Amino acid sequence: MLQRRDGAVDGTKFNGVRQTFAAAPSTIECAEMERRMMNWRKEREAFLRSMGIKIES
């Protein structure tokens, strides 16, 4: 994320398409990111467990 002089934030979508949005992302964008992070965390933990690695939480 790069903050521009005019206050807008230059963001990069996961597919590589550049996009610019207002400095505060919408609550929907926040929720979407939160959901992705949670999914990623669950998948990673499941993978580590399958490898026999213990996770301290």
Look up the pTM and report it.
Answer: 0.40
Q: What is the model's pLDDT at position 14?
A: 46
- The string of pLDDT tens digits covering residues 2-48 is 555 555 555 544 444 555 555 566 777 778 888 888 999 899 889 98
**Residue ranges of domains in the chain:** 2-50
Three-state SS annotation for the chain: CEECCCCCEEEECCCCCEEEECCCCCHHHHHHHHHHHHHHHHHHHHHHHHCCCCCCC
Residue 20 pLDDT? 53
